[in-house]
Amino acid sequence: MKFVQKLGKALMLPVACLPICGILMGLGYAMCPSTMQGGDVTGIVQQIGFFLVKAGGALIDHMALLFAIGVGVGMSDDHDGTAGLAALASWLMITNLLSTGAVSVLRTLEEGSTAFIAFSKIENPFIGIIAGIIGALCYNRFKSTKLPDWLSFFSGKRCVAIVAGVVSIIVSAVLLFVWPVLFAGLVALGKGIAGMGALGAGIYAFFNRLLIPFGLHHALNNVFWFDTIGLGDLNHFWAGDTTASANLSWDLGIYMSGFFPCMMFGIPGAALAMIQTAKDNKKKIAIGIVMSAAISAFVCGVTEPFEFAFMFLAPALYVVYAALYGIFTVITCFVGFRAGFSFSAGLTDLIFSASLPAAHNTWMIIPLGIAAFLVFYFVFKFAILKWDLKTPGREDDDDEADDAEKSATLANNDFTAVAQTILEGLGGKENVVTIDNCITRLRLEVKDTTKVNEKAIKAAGAAGVIRPGKTSVQVIIGTQVQF
């Protein structure tokens, strides 16, 4: 679990490169529409637009490479660039050894077969992640290696890339047999859901949200958003394609469009329901937790602060929440709303994707958004009251919580005071073994989990506390966690 959590955090590094891609390509297509049809580029404005489109496309086209280096650096113990270099070496070696030209020398590779297609798509984010992991693990294990004097030049960090290269050869030999089988499974899953049209898109959206707590949604996204198995909904959308121009077997954008009404309007509706159903003496706490999370979801599509605020308090409600995503994805498919994102389904990406050729009926975000707001609001309010769910602001009162709330510093920018209160709730500094943070959470290893006082931690303004392992503790803070 700790390894998966570390990988999830490392993936945020390359993902953070995507928003600039969306901004550049969105502006570029707006300034130079002829780029979409491959027409002539005339005039200074269109030339600038063409320049911006190509700049953004450079990142989309090499996304797998970003994953390799980003994961390599992100998973290394001290985020050293040496791990990124080792990951790059691993990526180059694996993708060359498993290219169709190299593989065809070692085994029969019939053009058009599943195996041929698998190896022709070896330069994908999945392989990039594997290369990143190899680079990071080799760095963590061999960064302090001491060799004999006659090999001393290669001691320490200088040997990391060499070791990563050797490991990559072994991994390539394994993937020579495993990758076609794995690829065939992904193709079957993707085509199975893709063949279901709008219903399949809804099923995908449901599982996308359902896998968030485990961090496994990244694997699912690779099947539909990127060109891992030949779908690449996100890649095609931002490359300026349309369903017809790229001769696609699915309606371009259906694996992204449904997220916009849910994230931009559904989450604020659900947040309002939580605030209204909170206890009178805890409404301010509920507002502090879910309102800022709702704003974050609306503007930039960052949903974790909201989701982690209730998914472990009311897991049944989280399943309902995931189901609503599936339902609205199906609806958006049928009504013809099409939008894409480079980072997530917030207002920013909606604006910049509106000028792309695959975008369609983007004005419908208004009626769809109003519907999502109302449905999420009434469903959440009904479920919370009907089942007496312990969403933020509805937790059981006790003396310990009251004392903690009186002594904690809430809803202010004195991060030192907040950190001190959280640290005390974790059992003091002597109980903390390691501490790190991702985009919304503090991640800790503690000596004794019985010393962790969840009520005191939440009273400090934290959205919740998660215990993913015997000694692992996560404190949900929100986007201000870095401070």
Separation in Å, CA 451 to CA 45, 428, 431, 432: 62, 9, 8, 10
Residue 32: active-site member: no
> How many Å apart are CA 373 and CA 273, to the nearest integer?
10
> How many Å apart are CA 407 and CA 428, to the nearest integer?
16
Per the listing, tokens 């449901």 go with 206
Q: Is 295 exposed, middle or buried (0-12, 13-18, 19+ CB in 10 A)?
A: middle
Nearest CA to 167 out of 188, 139, 193 is that of 139
Nearest CA to 304 out of 479, 425, 85 is that of 479
Separation in Å, CA 221 to CA 33, 164, 266: 29, 27, 21
Count of positions (residues) in the chain? 483
Q: Check if the beta carbon of residue 362 is closer than 8 Å to that of residue 349.
A: no
Catalytic residue, from 32, 138, 159, 438: name it: 438
Residue at 228: amino acid letter: T
By DSSP bridging, strand 441-446 and strand 432-437 are antiparallel
Residues marked as catalytic: 438
